[in-house]
């Protein structure tokens, strides 16, 4: 399946009101500079409201790809204060699960959870501050990419440094 068709397939499964161009929000600026032109960004808050789904969720879901893979990127935004680790992980896990329902039938999907913060993540254990966040999904342990709100090219730099762009 061509990438264009994959993105069209994803876009057709959500409300038109949920499609956005902006990956940021919630007091957190995320730059789309240097990202692929063909992409779909879903405002998950709006989509869950339209589905009457009240579970915790990430803020945005980004889909883009290349000839080999389709990337599903749940994005949690913490623009005010520190994010709570367990809450962020739950929101990202639910975002991953929602993304999986949208890409059902599409091959070579790579899942890349991201959190952008202004002040970092608050861990339950003070000794484990500044460690990598991990989330289990589909039998794999995924590392959560962590970036800062408002830094130039924050999204593209984060994905590029991790080898996803």
- The confidence score (pLDDT) of residue 157 equals 95
In terms of residue numbers, what domain contains 86?
Answer: 3-161
DSSP labels for 1-49?
--HHHHHHHHHTTS-GGGEES-S-BTTB----TTS-SSEEEEEHHHHHH
Task: Determine the average pLDDT of the residues in 96-124.
Answer: 89
Phi, psi of 102 (to 5 degrees): -80, -25
The chain-wide mean pLDDT, for the chain, equals 89
Between residues 120 and 156, the one the model is more confident about = 156
126-164 pLDDT, tens digit each: 555 557 899 999 999 999 999 999 999 999 999 999 999
The answer on pLDDT for 125 being more than 60 is no
- The confidence score (pLDDT) of residue 107 equals 84
- The confidence score (pLDDT) of residue 74 equals 98
Per the structure, how many domains does the chain have? 1
Q: Provide the pLDDT confidence category of residue 68 given band limits of 50, 70 and 90.
A: confident
- The confidence score (pLDDT) of residue 119 equals 80
29-60 pLDDT, tens digit each: 999 899 999 999 999 999 999 999 988 999 99
Q: Show the DSSP H helices in 38-103 as ranges.
A: 44-50, 85-102
By CB atoms closer than 10 A (0-12, 13-18, 19+), residue 56 is middle
Q: Provide the pLDDT confidence category of residue 77 given band limits of 50, 70 and 90.
A: very high
By CB atoms closer than 10 A (0-12, 13-18, 19+), residue 36 is middle
Query: What percent of the chain shows pLDDT beyond 70?
Result: 92
Residue 83: how many CA atoms within 13 Å on its side-chain side?
29
The answer on pLDDT for 3 being more than 70 is no
Task: Determine the average pLDDT of the residues in 68-73.
Answer: 94
The answer on pLDDT for 1 being more than 80 is no
């Amino acid at each position: 399946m061509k990438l264009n068709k994959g993105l069209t397939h994803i876009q057709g499964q959500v409300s038109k009101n949920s499609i956005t161009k902006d990956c940021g929000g919630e007091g957190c600026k995320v730059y789309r500079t240097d990202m692929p032109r063909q992409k779909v960004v879903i405002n998950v808050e709006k989509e869950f409201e339209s589905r009457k789904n009240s579970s915790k969720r990430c803020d945005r879901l980004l889909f883009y790809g290349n000839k080999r893979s389709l990337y599903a990127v749940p994005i949690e935004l913490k623009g005010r204060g520190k994010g709570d680790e367990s809450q962020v992980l739950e929101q990202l896990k639910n975002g991953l699960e929602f993304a999986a329902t949208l890409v059902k039938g599409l091959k070579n999907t790579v899942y890349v959870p991201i959190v952008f913060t202004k002040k970092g993540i608050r861990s339950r254990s003070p000794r484990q501050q500044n460690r990598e966040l991990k989330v289990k999904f589909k039998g794999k342990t995924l590392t959560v990419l962590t970036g800062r709100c408002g830094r130039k090219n924050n999204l593209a730099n984060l994905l590029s440094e991790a080898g996803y762009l």
